[in-house]
Amino acid sequence: MSPYLRIAVLILSLSAGTAAIAQTYDQVVGNRGVYLFAEGTGSSFREADNAALAQISDQIAVAVRSDLTVTQTRQKEDRKYAASTSFESVVETYSQATLTMCQRIVVKNGPKKYRILRYIPKAEIARVFEAREAKVLEMVGIAEKAETELKIGDALRYYYWSQILASTLRYPNEVYYMDGEGEKRQLSVWLPLKLNEILEGIDIAFDGFSDDRNMYGRLRFTFDGKPVSNVDYTYWDGFDWSYPVSAKDGLGFFELRADADVPWINVKIEYAYDYEAHIDKDVEPVIEAVSPIDYTGAYHNNVLLRKPAVKDKEGPVTVAENNAPVATDAVSTAREETASSFAVTSESDREYCRHAVSEILDCMESGNYEAARQYFSEEGYGLFTKLLRYGNALVLDKSAPECLTFNGDIFCRSIPMSFSFRNNSIKFVEDVVFTFGDGRKISNISFALEDVTLNDILCKSKWEDSAKMVLIDFLENYKTAFALKRLDYMEDIFSEDALIITGRVVRRAPVENRILGSSEYVEYNRQTKAEYINNLRYSFASKEYINIKFSNMEILKMGKGESIYSIQIKQDYFSSNYGDSGYLFLLVDAGDYRHPVIHVRTWQPEPDPEFGIFGPYNF
């Protein structure tokens, strides 16, 4: 059986299994012991449907109350890290999740009078409880893997979200997790310990200012002496708390007010990530319902910026010279290995490229963008303008970039820049890569992968260096294509007969990168390349910014000497007006370095109960 035929059979079987649950009116109303149901009438279809939903919502709430114990909502006041909320708030989170699963039968379809039946098998309510517990365990697994990769932001987010979700389970003290060392852990006890351990293991240090006015400063974040791969934080500048900022590979930044004489700042590590809860439709209502848990270890007070004029008894007890970078042995080994694994760049090429990049950065700071055009090819300058439109870019470090040569191109890597947006509060750091092609002109701009991902690829001892570079370049360009809205790139990298599968909740319209509501029943649909690109076109046009974060990446090289790669990624998708979280699978032929081809792309909101996550052996 051909690969496409096998997956087509899988899709049809999943869809058929979903369709089989549909029932007739008589079967539903004649089986009160099996179904919850309610009828609504009205002069319009929507009025009748809303009436039916309102009635069945009350029935669902009653059923949930009878099945949900109150142990998790009556916490002792002296339990410092216990979630606290009202019983009715917990019931509501289950009721709303269950309500999305209700099916509909149109009994009378107008024209002036409508009658609609909404129903759900009672057994589905129990499955909602089971699904939430499975979600908790899934998140803990993601968090533990992220912690080992120093993706501290991901680890904190998923540990905390799993703790909040676990607090609403029927029997929260009876949920256990087998950790990576084979130890059985009681989550209600273990999760607060993990969060405290991580928060207290983070160190923050001032790393100098990035401008002559001492308004924009750099911060270094380490965990156990190593740069964290990612972490979000806010800071108090003496006047107010900032919006959340995302640090990358240990580097973050802060902004002071003009003429402010601030000797130190306070920094709070984010762990609740309530501003990102909308990416997960199971987490969002629970985060809103459950009272937040305060972890005092998240607060790092008096991060010294300069020697204070007057010593304050409650101020810092150590001093540092103004603009002096903090000495640290936490050097990124990934960047060193990247630079040493490939062809040596000649001294003349290195000097030219570094000079060109320095001039470009000066043009970015002065706003004289046209003066930088001489260093770009036509296509490259188009990408430069996209980079400028992406957000308000601030160069954090103008040190000479690393240069490496591959396949005739020179990559000037890891120029850290922060990005902020006019209509949104989010700020984050990206390492920008300039690629010099023919004629020493910049032909491409991309955002670098996190160091831990680079390390994961570079440590593949059986891979040739060329294979590693091809994969790094592909993943960086794929991520950047969403950020810079490169529809042309996305059209180029998909084969004309690419197999593109997206998951969607049954009874909901499919939208690219979107799953609406919580349901056990997920339907997988194939899109043509034209349909997928058209969806991206509308998606790109509606968003001020898009930012993608990868975690839990698994990469396989399919066969000795082959150029086919299997890539499974946990992808968090953030944008100015939408976000989601799910699992991305790509099957890529990277034999032609400059023209990789995606043959299979799948996305699913969560592991499927039947087959898990799409992978190379499904095809």
Neighbours of 418 (CB within 10 A): 26
Is the pLDDT at 553 greater than 60? The verdict is yes
pLDDT at 216: 87
377 confidence band (pLDDT: 50, 70, 90): very high
Q: Quick check: 576 pLDDT over 60? A: yes
The pLDDT, as a whole number, for residue 22 is 54
| Most confident listed range (281-285, 326-330, 509-513) | 281-285
Q: State the chain's mean pLDDT as an integer.
A: 81
Average pLDDT over residues 509-525: 42
Domains and CATH numbers, the chain: 1-22+459-619 (3.10.450.50), 32-121 (3.10.28.20), 127-324 (no CATH), 332-448 (3.10.450)
Give just the sign of the alpha carbon dihedral 92, 94, 100, 104. negative
Could you give the maximum distance between any two Cα atoms of the chain, in Å? Answer: 84
Residues 311-319 have a mean pLDDT of 44
Mean of the pLDDT values across residues 45-64? 88
If one compares 281 and 30, the residue with the highest pLDDT of the two is 30
Q: 3-class DSSP state for residue 124?
A: helix
pLDDT at 150 over 70: yes
* pLDDT computed for residue 313 by the predictor: 43
Residue 54 has pLDDT above 80, yes or no: yes
What pLDDT is recorded for position 580?
A: 82
- Residue 380, pLDDT > 70, answer yes
Stretch 48-58: mean pLDDT: 90
Main-chain phi, psi angles of 496, to 5 degrees: -65, -30
3-state secondary structure of 344: coil
Are 431 and 414 contacting, i.e. CB atoms less than 8 angstroms apart? yes
pLDDT at 590: 85
- Model pLDDT for residues 20-48, shown as the tens digit of each residue: 345 789 999 999 889 999 999 999 999 99
Q: Does 10 score more than 50 pLDDT? A: no
**Averaged over 191-210, what is the pLDDT?**
94
Q: CA–CA distance from 239 to each of 315, 350, 425, 574 (Å)? A: 16, 44, 17, 29
Residue 181: CA count within 13 A, CB half-sphere:
3
pLDDT at 518: 38
Tell me the mean pLDDT in the region 52-67.
83
Residues 575 and 547: beta-carbon distance below 8 Å: yes
Average pLDDT over residues 586-605: 89
Close Cβ partners of 225 (under 8 Å, ≥ 6 residues apart): 203, 329, 330
Residue 33 Rama label (left phi>0; alpha psi -120 to 50; beta): alpha
| pLDDT beyond 60 at 326 | no
Contact (CB, 8 A) for 510 and 525: yes
pLDDT of 511 strictly over 70: no
pLDDT tens readout for residues 339-373: 555 667 889 999 999 999 999 999 998 999 999 99
**What pLDDT is attached to residue 557?**
83
| pLDDT recorded at residue 81 | 64
Q: How far apart are CA 326 and CA 207, in angstroms?
A: 5
Predicted local distance difference test score (pLDDT) of residue 335: 52
| Span 495-500, average pLDDT | 91
Reported as a single tens digit per residue, the pLDDT across 237-265 is 878 899 899 999 999 999 888 777 788 89
Range with the lowest mean pLDDT among 218-232, 302-316, 367-381, 439-453?
Answer: 302-316
Higher pLDDT, 425 or 353: 353
What percentage of residues in the chain have a pLDDT greater than 70? 83
Residue 122 has pLDDT above 70, yes or no: yes
Cβ-contact 476, 453 below 8 angstroms: no
Residues β-bridged to residue 290: none
